[in-house]
Amino acid sequence: MSAPEMNPPPPPERRDGGSCWKWGGIACAGCGCVAVLAIVVLIVVLASRSDVRNAYSRIVSTAQEAGEVVQRMQQVGEALDKFVQDHGRYPNKLAELAPRYVAAEMLRVSNKPGAKEFVYHKPPPNAPETFGVLEVAIPNPVMPTQAPPIQYVWTKAGKLHTPSAFQIEPEPSAPSPPEKRSEPESDPK
């Protein structure tokens, strides 16, 4: 006797009203629209606050100032290189570069009245290529009073070095106690 033949039941009939993909897509798009609307509202609210606008303006102006500082520092650095090629030594003061190698106003970090000069460090004779010849510090635009300023350093090798303003120094570890010296054990005989 043979076993009766078993067939799976037929699939359920479709109802009019669309598929689950259609309704899932509508729900997903609805959530996406709500998320986009929430982001737009957040941006509008933040942009309407004067402290946010002031911070943004300060960041933009500091970025522009930093660009100008870097350009000027590069020009003064190149003038230093030409001076060294011509004289075989570094100048005693930056003022020795003007007017032959660079215009006197370029020795300042900007064209603003009262702008400070670059800090110049005459390298000693055996200074490494990483020695900082020029430097300047710009106030941190995000937290001008709390965060350290942003440093720009021009090295003897003619490279711009910008140490991170938020570099975290490791905490010094507690000194380890001196090691106890073990005495050789004597053989009691």
What is the rounded distance in angstroms from the CA atom of residue 102 to the CA atom of residue 58?
Answer: 30
Domain membership of residue 85 (yes or no) is: yes
Domain membership of residue 37 (yes or no) is: no
What's the domain count of the chain?
1
Q: Which residue has the tokens 């003038």?
A: 79
In sequence order, which residues have a C-beta less than 8 Å from that of residue 155 and are 6 or more positions away? 129, 130, 131, 132, 133, 161
Domain membership of residue 186 (yes or no) is: no
**Residue 170: predicted pLDDT:** 46
Structure-token pair, residue 91: 């100048």
Q: Which domain holds residue 107?
A: 48-161
CA dihedral in degrees (105, 106, 112, 115; nearest 10)? -90
Handedness of CA 55, 58, 64, 67 (dihedral sign): negative
pLDDT digits (tens, 9 = 90+) for 12-51: 676 665 555 555 555 555 566 666 777 777 777 666 667 6
Domain membership of residue 39 (yes or no) is: no
Structure-token pair, residue 49: 């606050």
Domain membership of residue 167 (yes or no) is: no
Domain membership of residue 166 (yes or no) is: no
pLDDT digits (tens, 9 = 90+) for 44-93: 766 666 766 676 776 677 677 777 888 888 999 999 999 999 999 999 99
Domain membership of residue 102 (yes or no) is: yes
